[in-house]
Amino acid sequence: MPLPFVRQFPDGKRVLSEVTCSPEVERLGSEFIAAGGRYICEIMPDGKARIAACVMIDDEQEDVEVETCENGPPLAAAVDRLVRASWKHIGPEMMEEDTGSSCGGDDITDEGE
């Protein structure tokens, strides 16, 4: 099952998209999301991609892992590293809180819209 990423563009537009990864990475990412995390891909004005794994801490969005790379083929390896690193942040504090998928989730449109 592909992992959902919120894509943010320089003009402020945000859309929900999916990234297909290996089964192992998809499992790790799904566990991070189930614990209340979210993945974001911000397309920077220079065309690079900044991807982040984030969680809600004290009602504030916090990035727990960040990667910056060229937008294109290098993005796949960066997503793999990010998801593997983000999974390490799953702990009792994430599992106890019901953070849902509220991390950075305002004004998101489905990619198909």
Q: Which domain holds residue 80?
A: 3-110
Q: Are 97 and 2 a contacting pair, CB within 8 Å? A: no
DSSP string, 11-74: TS-EEEEEE---HHHHHHHHHHHHTT-EEEEEEPTTSEEEEEEEEEETTEEEEEEEEEEESSTH
Q: Are 37 and 55 a contacting pair, CB within 8 Å? A: yes
What are the tens digits of pLDDT across the range 67-102?
999 998 889 999 999 999 999 988 755 544 443 433
What band does 109 get if pLDDT is binned at 50, 70 and 90?
A: very low
What percent of the chain is predicted at pLDDT more than 70? 80
- The residue type of 23 is P
The 8-class DSSP code of residue 88 comes to T
pTM above 0.85, yes or no: no
Q: Is residue 14's pLDDT more than 50?
A: yes
Q: Are 46 and 71 a contacting pair, CB within 8 Å? A: no
Number of folded domains that form the chain = 1
Specify the CATH number for the domain of residue 37: 3.30.160
Q: Are 103 and 61 a contacting pair, CB within 8 Å? A: yes
